[in-house]
Amino acid sequence: MLKWAAAGFLAGVIIGVPIPVSLAVLLVGLLGGAAYRLRGKSWLGPLLCLCFLVLGTARATHVDNDLGNLDALNGHTAELTGTVAEEPDIRDTGANYVIAVTGVTSGGRTRAVTGKVQVHTTRAVVLDYGDGVSLSGVLTAPRNDASVPYRSILARRGIASTMNFPRILDLGPSDTGPSGWIVWLRQALERGINAWLPEPEAALLIAIALGAHSASLGDVTQPLIATGLIHIIAISGIKVAMVAGTGYALFRRLPSRSLTLAAGLLLLIFYVLLTGTTVSGERSAIMWALVFVAAYLGRGTLSWQSLAMVAAALVALQPGLVWDAAFQMTALGTGSIIAFSDRLLQTFRLVPPPFREAFCVTLAAQAGTIPVVVVSFHVISAWGPLANALVLPLLPVLIVLGFALGALSWVPPLAAVLAAFAYALLHAVLSTASALSALPGSVPISGISSPVAIVYYACLAVLSAWVLRKANWAPSGRRPGALTDLTCGMAVGAVMLTGTLLPAGGSASRLTWLGTGESILLQSDGRAVLIDGSPHPFQLLEGLGAQLGSRRNIDAVVVTDPRTNVTGLLDVLDHYSVGEVLDVGCEYPSLTYARWRAVLRTRHIPVYALRTGTAFSAGSAGLTVLGPDGVYPQPRDSIGLLRVTMAGQSVLLAGAASDRELMEAVFRPVRLRANVLVMDAGSSGPHAFLRHVRARRVIQLTVKTRQTRPAREILASH
């Protein structure tokens, strides 16, 4: 009977026909009375379904507006006070903060107000969860567009206003209660992972273990979408099931069933809170809670009824959830897995476990979510089941490694081993996604019409009903053994780790543009020098990761242009141990540059002035500073000029230096002659300077684009 009630309630919410409360109460009373009189007869199920359908309709059309009254000020300038209510979302293009507003000053009057505002500002503004803030700016209403329903997404989070680049005053931390400790722990784990892994491996491990925004993964997101692996970066039901199943297997050793139940429920609550309380995580956690309670009572659970009850309960609490793509995918995917996974496991019984389970579960889930995937991602991947069959067996190991590496990052011997093993597995996942996404089989689709989706799900419902009826509506739902998964992951990881430990071949010295900004990496005889950063930190870290692999230190960082390049260098300090910094300096520093120098002082990293005549070596390569002589009010007049020499060849790095700076270099007692001249694409240089350099080749770097270009080898010696 529970499945009838849940199905009726969900249908009522979807229909959402306006109905007066008095009429709804009357209909529920009549239908409930009829169901009671006909209990035990065949009409009971349909009557119960109709009763809950009326309840669902009433719930959908009588939803409280929980966005507050802040949205009434959209379009006006206001001064707000409030608290940072969510973990900051830091991206290449800036930082996003969600502020729970408590007061507003408008027109000289201050009054209390409720609501949330999403603030977008520069990365130089650093706020922590729980900080009190004062904002001054223009409130705007978010808008939907053809590709991203931005307004709808924010509305589901209780946000109806945005504010871009406001004036912000940090009022200091406030009491956040237990949630503050959860966010602090999550951020501590993220810092530990970042300290021991390069990008994009670090971001991927954080996403797998703790969940992440897809936008924070940069160019890695597209191959994951094309291969159907995008779900691994969110806290999906399968990851909650892995954590819950492993924890329950351990807790069963406790001396009493009460302790086992309490420990299992606490683990579920802690993991869901730590990973951000996603829809799929909540759904899976509630289902596993039912499993724990049933085990405590000595009874079994039925997956289909449990899913229906959980879905109905979540929609009852938040009716708008029924139109959320994440909820649709997790509910429809789970239902399809329950219906078809057993039959698929029998069909593909020749495939060895655990790859068989991963392949069949993915194939079943994909059958139930095709229309939602088309609407959300506009692509269907034929390689999804294969990619998931190869990757899913590695997830349990990666989740354990993520938590272990984050918690033990302060113990270098252990952290180094964990990081090496995690790097190998993550590199395998990224290589698999990249290789399969390059193959034909990902079909781009602009959308799907409502009649087609209705017909598709009607056919799927008939087929699932037939399969479930043959299974007596209680499929066995086999789950692969945790030991098998762990053994398989360890074996694959050992193979990949062996590959990463092989000595790297190639040239002894090379100078490589990293493909973003003006960042150039010099590698020579085991030493690494990073010359300049990029305004796009994640792309810079991806380039460094591709060149340095699992290496965790950079011998020196050289800053020739402090205007925008230090943005990416701040993130470099979080991922790599930097030996020393040579900085040209800035007479009127920006907030970002001031923060860069403050972080260097806090971490006790030696900083030296980059001035004419300074020379130092990196392995067999030599670097000589050709300018500037000092710092000037105009930053382009004091951009550092570097001459890199190795194996008798030389490169002059001029960057975006002004014509004045280049002409001054002509009259300095320095040698400008170089085989290669590297300049900004927007600079050509005066003729006198070019005659003195006499370069055989001139390279102009396209530094304005936000897209990562392939790394380009500027000079190499063998």
Q: Which residue stretches of 587-626 are H helix?
A: 591-602
Q: Which residue stretches of 438-575 are H helix?
A: 450-470, 482-500, 537-548, 566-575
200: DSSP letter: T
Overall average pLDDT of the 650-658 stretch: 89
| Nearest in space to 543 (alpha carbons), one of 218, 233, 89 | 218
pLDDT of residue 64: 47
How would residue 179 be classed by pLDDT, with cut points 50, 70 and 90? low
pLDDT(275) > 90: no
DSSP secondary structure string, 675-695? SEEEEETT----HHHHHHH--
pLDDT of residue 69: 76
**Count of C-beta atoms within a 10 Å radius of residue 378:** 15
- Pairing verdict, β 527-531 and 520-524: antiparallel
pLDDT of residue 505: 44
How many angstroms separate the first and last alpha carbons of the chain?
Answer: 76
Spatial separation of the C-alpha atoms in residues 310 and 285, rounded to whole Å: 10
Under the phi-then-psi rule, with left for phi > 0, alpha for psi from -120 to 50, and beta for the rest, what region is 441?
left
Overall average pLDDT of the 656-665 stretch: 88
The distance from CA 295 to its chain's CA centroid, rounded to whole angstroms, is: 35
pLDDT(509) > 70: yes
Residues 384-429 have pLDDT tens digits of 788 888 887 788 888 889 999 999 998 988 999 899 889 988 988 8
Spatial separation of the C-alpha atoms in residues 463 and 367, rounded to whole Å: 11
pLDDT of residue 518: 85
Q: Residues 282, 244, 398, 382: is their CA dihedral positive or negative?
A: negative
**Structure-block tokens of residue 473:** 């509506």
Residues of the chain with CATH 3.60.15.10: 509-717
Overall average pLDDT of the 198-207 stretch: 88
Given a contact cutoff of 8 angstroms between Cβ atoms, the answer to whether 195 and 406 are in contact is no
pLDDT of residue 702: 67
pLDDT(482) > 60: no
Residues of the chain with CATH 2.40.50.140: 70-176
Lowest mean pLDDT among 119-133, 636-650, 698-712: 698-712
Which residues have C-beta within 8 Å of that of residue 149, sequence separation ≥ 6?
none
Q: 624 - beta bridge partners? A: 615, 643
Which residues have C-beta within 8 Å of that of residue 180, sequence separation ≥ 6?
129, 130
Spatial separation of the C-alpha atoms in residues 272 and 284, rounded to whole Å: 10
How would residue 530 be classed by pLDDT, with cut points 50, 70 and 90? very high
- The helices-and-strands tally (H runs, E runs) of the chain is 23, 23
How would residue 477 be classed by pLDDT, with cut points 50, 70 and 90? very low
Spatial separation of the C-alpha atoms in residues 424 and 504, rounded to whole Å: 15
pLDDT(119) > 50: yes
Q: Please report which helix (H) or strand (E) contains residue 92, including its range.
A: none
pLDDT of residue 554: 94
Instruction: Calculate Rg over the CA atoms of the chain.
Output: 29
**Structure-block tokens of residue 337:** 């897995």
pLDDT(472) > 50: yes
pLDDT of residue 365: 76
Residues 624-649 have pLDDT tens digits of 999 888 888 888 888 889 999 988 88
Residue 29 CB burial class (10 angstroms; 0-12, 13-18, ≥19): exposed
State whether residue 716 is helix, strand or coil. strand
634: DSSP letter: S
Which residues have C-beta within 8 Å of that of residue 489, sequence separation ≥ 6?
393, 394, 396, 397, 398, 425
Which residues have C-beta within 8 Å of that of residue 277, sequence separation ≥ 6?
none
Overall average pLDDT of the 334-339 stretch: 76
pLDDT(606) > 90: yes
pLDDT of residue 556: 94
**Structure-block tokens of residue 110:** 């201050």
Spatial separation of the C-alpha atoms in residues 99 and 137, rounded to whole Å: 13
Q: Please report which helix (H) or strand (E) contains residue 621, including its range.
A: strand 621-627
Residue 632 CB burial class (10 angstroms; 0-12, 13-18, ≥19): middle
**Structure-block tokens of residue 532:** 């300049």
Residue 546 backbone phi and psi in degrees, to 5:
-65, -35
pLDDT(492) > 80: no
Lowest mean pLDDT among 85-89, 217-221, 436-440: 217-221
Residues 532-584 have pLDDT tens digits of 988 888 889 988 988 988 788 999 999 998 876 788 898 899 899 999 999 99
pLDDT of residue 43: 62
Q: How many CA atoms are closer than 13 Å to the CA of 253, on its beta-carbon side?
A: 4
Lowest mean pLDDT among 12-26, 335-349, 467-481: 467-481
pLDDT of residue 709: 63
pLDDT(501) > 80: no
Q: Answer with the residue of higher pLDDT: 225 or 433.
A: 433
Among 246-260, 426-440, 483-497, 506-520, top mean pLDDT goes to: 426-440
How would residue 66 be classed by pLDDT, with cut points 50, 70 and 90? very low
Lowest mean pLDDT among 153-157, 169-173, 454-458: 153-157
Query: b/e map of 383-395 (b: 16 or more CB within 10 Å)?
Result: bbbbbbbbbbbbb
pLDDT of residue 557: 95
Residues 282-302 have pLDDT tens digits of 767 777 777 777 777 766 566
Q: Which amino acid is at 355?
A: F
| CATH, domain range 70-176 | 2.40.50.140
Mean pLDDT rounded to a whole number for the chain = 78
Is-cis flag, bond preceding 371, omega within 30?
Answer: no
Lowest mean pLDDT among 113-117, 339-343, 565-569: 339-343
Is-cis flag, bond preceding 354, omega within 30?
Answer: yes
| Nearest in space to 126 (alpha carbons), one of 100, 95, 166 | 95
Percent pLDDT > 90 in the chain is 13
Given a contact cutoff of 8 angstroms between Cβ atoms, the answer to whether 516 and 709 are in contact is yes
pLDDT of residue 443: 66
pLDDT of residue 348: 80
Given a contact cutoff of 8 angstroms between Cβ atoms, the answer to whether 94 and 563 are in contact is no
Given a contact cutoff of 8 angstroms between Cβ atoms, the answer to whether 558 and 529 are in contact is yes
CATH fold for the domain made of 509-717:
Metallo-beta-lactamase; Chain A (3.60.15)
**Structure-block tokens of residue 294:** 């049933």
The distance from CA 407 to its chain's CA centroid, rounded to whole angstroms, is: 20
Lowest mean pLDDT among 336-345, 581-590, 629-638: 336-345
Given a contact cutoff of 8 angstroms between Cβ atoms, the answer to whether 524 and 644 are in contact is no
Percent pLDDT > 70 in the chain is 76
